[in-house]
Amino acid sequence: MDKKKLVDTSIDYILEHYKENILIEDIADYLYLSKFYFSRIFKEVTGESVYSFIKRLKVEQSAIDIKLEKTRTLSDIGLDYGYSANNYSTVFKNLFQVSPTEFRKTANSSRVINPFNNEKIEELKSFENYQEAVQIKNLLDYPVIYQRTLDNYLNVKQNWSNFIDHNKANMTSATIMIEKFYTDPSSTTQQNNLCDLCLSVTEKTKAMATVSGGKYAVYSFEGYISNIFNELQGLFSIWLPQSKFNMRGQYGLNIYREVDWQNGYVKLDCCIPVK
């Protein structure tokens, strides 16, 4: 297994266990590697130490919880990730430059700053607007080949281009492009959006992984790529917390139906796994 695949496997493990008191030794043992070798290749591939990655992921995921669980106390959310109230506030502010309390006030607003253009204020739609458009569907599993990216979301077009060019032999007219995103662009440093670019495959022997099906809240979007951020923020921050559903898992999907990269125009389904 090459270094990139080893690191991808380690991130899968971290995503499953990050709410636990996870140690670097635990991950290295899982991979049958020495702690020192694993730590070195992780930093080499990601540019970040294992400890820093886990710490940042915990705080970023807690920020998503603040958005979704509007009635829970901040101290309870911090405890879920192993932090006392004081430590949680300090760690959170060090990452986001605002306290959890200040972040919650912003998260409860229908107006958000676009992290890719700080001069642009996004006006989110109402719950009723989303409620009319969201459909609850049971999606099938998608066997896929994928590339994991830890990058600025603004680079998604170039990353897709590189990934597609590398995998043209595996693509057919039935191939579906899927983004599996684990982080919220408004709740992470711009260079650290964790996302899997996936291409569906029909032959199981080619598949590297499976994008799991099941019950999803599906919101269809047609428009410019630059407006996807606004739609996703409304779906997660406005619709989901007020709906009768809870999020299942720590990811969402963008399933592309049509793509015009040249003009930056797409048709896609924004999908949240729900229960």
Higher pLDDT, 85 or 76: 76
CATH of domain 133-273: 3.20.80.10
Domain with CATH 1.10.10.60 in the chain: 3-107
Beta strand ranges found along 116-192 (DSSP E): 117-123, 135-139, 142-151, 177-181
Res 170 pLDDT > 90: no
> Distance (Å, rounded) from C-alpha 263 to C-alpha 58?
37
Among 183-187, 207-211, 269-273, the range of highest mean pLDDT: 269-273
Q: What's the pLDDT at 57?
A: 92
- Name the packing angle between helices 3-17 and 50-68 (round to 10°): 40
What is the structure's pLDDT at 257? 95
Per DSSP, helices labelled H in the chain are: 3-17, 24-30, 35-46, 50-68, 74-80, 85-96, 100-107, 127-133, 156-166, 228-234, 240-242
Between CA 243 and CA 155 the distance in angstroms is: 32
CATH of domain 3-107: 1.10.10.60
The pLDDT of residue 11 is 96
- Token pair in block for residue 259: 């793509």
- pLDDT band of residue 117 (cuts 50, 70, 90) is low
Mean pLDDT of 216-245: 91
At 165 the pLDDT is: 94
Tell me which of 16-20, 58-62, 153-157 is least confident: 153-157
pLDDT of 28 strictly over 80? yes
Bridge partners, residue 112, by sequence: 122
According to CATH, where is 3.20.80.10 located in the chain? 133-273
Classify each residue of 24-53 as buried b or exposed e, where b means 16 or more C-beta atoms within 10 Å of its C-beta: beebbeebebeeeebbebbeebbebebeeb
Q: Residue 106: is its pLDDT beyond 90? A: no
Tell me: pLDDT of 226 over 70. Answer: yes
Contacts 24+ apart (CB under 8 A), 171-175: 171/199, 172/202, 174/200, 174/202, 175/199, 175/200, 175/201
pLDDT at residue 264 in the model: 87
